[in-house]
Amino acid sequence: MINFKEVIAEQIAKMINWQKEEILQLIEIPKDSNNGDYAFPCFRLAKTLKKAPPAIATEMKEKIEIDPNMITKIEIAGGYLNFFVNKTTQIKELIKEIATQEEFGKSDYGKEKNIIVEYSAPNIAKPFHIGHLRTTGIGQALYNIYQYLGFHVTGINHIGDYGTQFGKMIEGYKRWGKEYSFDQNPIDDMLAIYVRINDLCKKDENVLNACRDNFKKLEDKDPYCLEIWNRFKTLSLKEFQRIYDMLGTKFDSWNGEAFYSDKMPEVIDILEKSGHLKESNGAKIIDLEDQGISTPCMIVKSNGSTTYDTRDLAAILYRARTYDFDKCLYVVAYEQDLHFRQVFGAAKYLGLDEKYLKGLEHVSYGMVRLKSGKMSTREGTLIKLEDLLNESIARVKEIMEEKNPDLENIDEIAKKIGIGAVIFNNLATNRIKDQIFDWDEVLNFQGETGPYIQYTYVRTKSVLEKVGKLPNFDEIEVEKLQDEYSLKIMDMIYHFEDILKQVVEKNEPSILARYLIDLSKAFSTFYNENKIIGDDKSCQDARIYLTYMTGKVLKQGAKLIGMEMPDKM
């Protein structure tokens, strides 16, 4: 498909002797379509050419040579050069692309680039609750979109299966394990033990010390401690997989913290040799003051056990060697900002190539909170994610049975809509914002929601079913699609790949979620303002094909953020 932005950049590059790639980064898409399809700001040239931006724009307009089949006109607005795309050419290209490409918008944009996305990472022996939804949803969406754009992506579930908390779990199991069956609700049983042992640790320092000793034994491969730990892990992963299946979440690697237990000695040795590992009150730390981080990175505790930081550093070293990553993304809540600053700071002393250090990125997101405040495992103020998904499905089914009782496959459709509502709500706002969890808001199927996008898609399917046959793409009269409502949809579809590129440039899936809402709204306006099925066959064919195009892009976009589309509602 013709990339009009590149056509413009190539012509500008000839005039000002700049690299095309640099010009591409400067070209903007005006918010108001009256200002054209693309705009080049001339302000950056003012200092070099010693002229005012409007004068530069005027001079460039007179000299530029662009095929009228590509650009119909060029206008000046202040210091901007505004370009108007030839809509006939654009629509023809779009129709052909949609007709001939199975996966519209897919590209090799990220060819030969290796991306790691670490996401979800629940702690074993603890409930999978709605606090895990954001990392799981954001991570999977990024994984999907990076892969769609041609990047080689590795998705890692860095499960929390190591650390002092397991020393507590082992101690609790020793004391009360026989009181629990672990058959019906193993996570609930493990949580009950965790809460009990935590309470006891608060009251008795000796119990806390015993827990610490248990973790040290686990690190030293004590058979009894390993046996209990393995049982907890097996039971937990089985429970987690059921939820991942509901969400459509997949991983390439389940290497969690424990995987790096035998890789930490090398990290400690490298840091020792670097001269940056220092003793502090019996512990070993990396001082990061020179990097503007006042809190040191603890590598070894005073009792000789390692830390989360040590394991993260071992993971960085392993991933650099194994995956040769260009980016290693950590989809983790913003509460861990300091932790990642410390780990990335300490990673500078691992002797890695600068490429890997630059590729480390914390993709932070806001917390999910209840109306009553922050959720807590210890306090029992959690909403399990599985309960949330099942409740959403049940509520959707109830609505559908009331409005469309004769609908076939109602359970399957209710599942797609119910889970889609939760997934979309999770991704609809900027990831860095906190979310207050509200049942009524999540399951509100009016307005800017997942079900609204699904409903729009079902409407496109319904229109296509009425006509029975899709027109031949090469017989569409594009002049019939030049009204403002059709042009708006065409323009949005043309920029679908650009939207996906924006997502990976900012690691922000809400950009795609917002796009899907806007495209749904544009189609709703088109549907209400234009008669699709009518007496004018050529006009009907054109509008039918536009309806088909819209549905195809909605379905593909929804798939990338993890939503399934029903054919009926």
| Both tokens assigned to 300 | 């070894």
Q: Count Cα atoms within 13 angstroms, Cβ side, for 545.
A: 24
Tens-digit pLDDT profile for residues 248-296: 999 999 999 999 989 999 999 999 999 999 999 999 999 999 999 999 9
Domains of the chain: 4-85 (3.30.1360.70), 114-370 (3.40.50.620), 385-560 (1.10.730.10)
Tens-digit pLDDT profile for residues 326-385: 999 999 999 999 999 999 999 999 999 999 999 999 999 998 776 665 555 445 556 889
Q: What is the pLDDT, as a whole number, of residue 374?
A: 58
Q: What is the pLDDT, as a whole number, of residue 380?
A: 52
Top-confidence residue, 511 or 185? 511
Strand partners, 75: 82
The confidence band for 434, taking pLDDT boundaries of 50, 70 and 90, is confident
Q: What is the pLDDT, as a whole number, of residue 162?
A: 87
Q: What is the pLDDT, as a whole number, of residue 442?
A: 66
The confidence band for 183, taking pLDDT boundaries of 50, 70 and 90, is confident
Mean pLDDT of the chain: 93
C-alpha to C-alpha distance for 224 and 569, rounded to whole angstroms: 54
C-alpha to C-alpha distance for 49 and 43, rounded to whole angstroms: 10
| Both tokens assigned to 358 | 């630059």
Cα–Cα nearest to 260, from 325, 314, 300: 314
Residue spans of beta strands (DSSP E) within 33-92? 38-41, 71-77, 80-85
Q: Which helix (DSSP H) or strand (DSSP E) does residue 227 occupy?
A: helix 223-247
Tens-digit pLDDT profile for residues 21-72: 999 999 999 988 889 999 999 998 888 888 899 999 999 999 898 899 999 9
Residue spans of beta strands (DSSP E) within 130-282? 152-156, 277-280
Cα–Cα nearest to 237, from 163, 195, 186, 197: 186
Tens-digit pLDDT profile for residues 218-228: 988 899 999 99
Tens-digit pLDDT profile for residues 127-167: 898 889 999 999 999 999 999 999 999 999 999 998 888 99
Q: What is the pLDDT, as a whole number, of residue 147?
A: 98
